[in-house]
Chains A and B, each alone.
Chain A
Amino acid sequence: MTGSLPNGEAHAISNAVNGRRISAVDVVEAALARIETADRRINAFTLITAERALARARSLDATLAAGDSVGPLAGVPFAVKNLFDIAEETTIAGSRISVGDAPAVSDAPAIARLEKAGAVLVGALNMDEYASGFTTENSHYGATRNPHDLERLAGGSSGGSAAAVAAGMVPLTLGSDTNGSIRVPSALCGVFGLKPTYGRLTRAGTQIFSESLDHVGPIAGCVMDLSLAYDAVQGFDPVDPVCAPVEPMLATPHLNAGLSGVRVALVDGRFFRRADERALAVAEAAARALGVTRRVDLPDVERGWAASLVITLIEGSSVHLPHLRARPNDFDPMTRDRFLAGVLAPAEVYLEAQRARRRYREAVLPLFDANDVLITPAVPFEAPAIGCDHLEVAGESMDPRGMLGLFTQPVSVIGLPALIVPMRTQDALPRAVQLVARPWNEVALFRVARALEAEGVACARIQRS
């Protein structure tokens, strides 16, 4: 079988493999070669599962040769944040501490579901230690670099997942998102990323950071690829106690349904103006491209942001108390001091944050009676330099390590689905917007994202060579 490699998008690869114009083995070998070259600069991968990937690709080719089909992601190479269990590998979650853990006995269900759709796992990806952070400046495994400027942050905590797609190493990855850990790196690297409704996708077989806030989701180079991955992973899983018993609501069949009946508004107001001019301008541009004139504000958003910060730190720290007792010096210093503070916080602080979260949710949900999708800036500023701990933004002094999640945290704290759309601009670094919908309405997010992509105002920045 001969043929040139498709352009690197997952759906194009799948069409070519399913049509037997190229073999899955050829695709996987090309991806492994690309990773070998590009990752020396990017540092996105912490594990490459070449032997497993090639065996899987050979199996797919044999299935196709026998006349059977292998699914909508046939032969598509993908990789996962290194907090997903991979059979026979240790789940390190960006830490040194977990390196000594026993290998996982099976793949996380999200990996298994992607492979059932024909995809091929090629490795695991760098992240902030235990998913605590927005920068992927990992002191154990090194910083993941932004493919569009190697001196800049890729974002985090799923920094490897976003950078691997933006660098053209794989067309598809999985990440996890507590406060913005899929959305922040997707925005900084210029790729599409989805954080679904809380409870939509199974988190079984992943290292949980914050139990009441964690989500998993896909990152990809176009809306079609994102929806194919999202659809493949959907479905109830009783092993994850918060995975909701809901039927899959497939997004792919609705991608090109247009915007008829979809009510879109731009989120405005003081909180969402804590951003540089370009961040605000691209949100305005997205609204203008869709003919959106309606503006809304998220009520009580400051309290929603504060609640997310408090809940995350306390829940996330508690999980690691045994290691804080036994091996404090094996943590990344920034993570350790954060976790030490978290385990010492009074219970009433946590409970009051949960009450505030509930009140905030009750205030926000009525917005969706009149609006289906809200547009916000994705992050307040472009990718900062690695090591940067201070920026002046809109007259405000900001520590980027915390403030990268300013616009994502008030969304995930109440479990709303959100999709990052990279915008086509002349800026040297990527700019993006965040689309937000009511719970379970991911389909509306995909329709709006696809409309922006079809209009030519949204486009991922992928380095193909």
Chain B
Amino acid sequence: MDRQQREQDWLDDATLDAMIWSSAATIRLTIPAEHLPGTRANLRSLLAVARTLIDADKPARPVVEIAPVYRA
């Protein structure tokens, strides 16, 4: 599959299902078949929003802190 094709297929059902099954197996989670459509829809939304945060041209920097820590 070339890069352009992968880009087109990024959020299609088959690609998401492959990701869901492999990730679920990794964390020892079984997803009942009837829950797959809802899981897929939510994951598609999550990844679409997450992608707006990815700037491929910007170098990554350390994650300094997880919570917004303020010191009075």
The residues of A with any CB-CB pair to B shorter than 8 Å are 197-199, 211-213, 242, 244, 246-247, 302-303, 306-307, 309-310, 313, 321, 324-325, 328-329, 333-334, 336-338, 340-346, 349, 351-358, 361, 413-415, 439-440
Contacts and interface: CB of A to CB of B under 8 A. Distances in A.
A24 B68 CA distance: 41
A439 B70 contact: yes
A328 B32 contact: yes
A339 to B, nearest CB: 9
Interface string B46-72: 110110111000001101111111111
A344 B19 contact: yes
Given A310-B50, A336-B35, A415-B67, 8 more contacts: A199-B67, A244-B71, A313-B46, A340-B42, A344-B29, A351-B63, A413-B68, A415-B70
Contact of B53 (A211, A303, A321, A414): A303
A307 B72 contact: no
Contacts of B11: none
A199 to B, nearest CB: 7
Nearest to A354: B63
B28 A328 contact: no
Q: At the interface, is chain A mostly helix, strand, loop or mixed?
A: helix
Q: At the interface, is chain B mostly helix, strand, loop or mixed?
A: loop
A439 B54 CA distance: 27
Contacts of A414: 68
Contacts of A313: 42, 46
B14 interface: no
Contacts, number: 114
Interface in B23-42: 23-24, 27-32, 35, 38-42
B49 A355 contact: no
Interface residues of B, number: 37
A310 B46 contact: yes
B70 A340 contact: no
B38 A337 contact: yes
Nearest to B65: A358
27 contacts: A244-B70, A244-B72, A246-B72, A306-B52, A307-B53, A309-B46, A309-B49, A310-B53, A328-B31, A328-B32, A337-B38, A337-B39, A340-B35, A341-B45, A344-B20, A344-B24, A345-B47, A352-B60, A353-B50, A354-B63, A358-B63, A358-B64, A361-B68, A413-B68, A415-B67, A415-B68, A440-B70
Contacts of A341: 39-40, 42-43, 45-46
| Best-buried of A213, A303, A358 by chain B (most CB within 10 Å) | A358
A352 B68 contact: no
A338 B40 CA distance: 9
B26 to A, nearest CB: 9
Contact of A337 (B30, B41, B67): B41
Given A244-B72, A328-B32, A328-B35, A211 B47 contact: no
A302 B55 CA distance: 14
A436 to B, nearest CB: 14
A198 B67 contact: yes
B38 A340 contact: yes
